[in-house]
Amino acid sequence: MDKRAFREALLSVMDRKDHWSWRAFERGLVPADRLHIHFEQEFATYVRDFPLFLGRTYVQCPHPDVRRELAENLYEEETGKLSLGRPHAELFLLFPEGLGMDLAAFEHVRLLPAAARYRAFLDEATLERGWEVAAAVSTIFVEGTRYDRHEVEGTGPSRPTPPLIEHPLVRYYGLPVDKLELTRAHRMVEHDHRAAAWRMVLEYVAPEAYVKVVDAMEQALDHWLAYREAVAAACGVTRELVAAD
């Protein structure tokens, strides 16, 4: 596998990081009294501990240039000092807070079985498979979206950036716009983070590690899709509901 094939294999994974249930969240079809399930699972599966994934990658990486990129990302995640001055996990909790949810529930989240398996995979990938897998899974897969091909190649759909007043949580659930600080922070730093993620992996992962990185990315996708399927079921969202809308 050469670098071109490696890049395409990674982009192919990100092209498929999409789940039918997102349409329900985008269209306000999730029952308001079950929306907390989505937020709790996201928070405990990766949002709260995403800086740990970056830190694990940092301490394993032998390349100073990559460590600097990771350190900047970690600094922003933990402090928000490159954007709005608050840790991203705190900004995430503004969503449930603004919707009147009990934030105490986020202190001891019980993961759905598929969510627990996804989280276990993320821990293994960032602790036990080398810096290359840790970097790809954390910075490309977890932090990335199905719009990454546009970020890398300039082709395919670009990430939508509608006015905050049109955000689904605002339109359908009454979230105050000022609680969308995480969205604002992401819009300030995410382009640079995406560029750094792909640069780190494409420029510094050695060819002999290509196969194990792609395999890990495919596993990440499988776990993520199963996780999102479980969250959809727990939220009472079905394919028929989405198709009928």
Q: Binning pLDDT at 50, 70 and 90, where does residue 6 land?
A: very high
Is a pLDDT exceeding 90 seen at residue 27?
A: yes
What pLDDT score does 108 carry?
95
CATH number at residue 142: 1.20.910.10
Model confidence, pTM: 0.96
Phi–psi pair at 95, nearest 5 degrees: -60, -60
Q: Binning pLDDT at 50, 70 and 90, where does residue 63 land?
A: very high
Is a pLDDT exceeding 90 seen at residue 191?
A: no
- Domain range for 143 is 3-244
Total count of domains within the chain: 1
Q: Give 105's contacts (C-beta < 8 A, 6+ positions apart).
A: 36, 40
Q: Which residue has the tokens 């019980």?
A: 110
Q: What is the DSSP string of 69-100?
A: HHHHHHHHHHH-TTTTSS-HHHHHTHHHHHTT
> What is d(CA 207, CA 219) in angstroms, rounded to the nearest whole number?
20
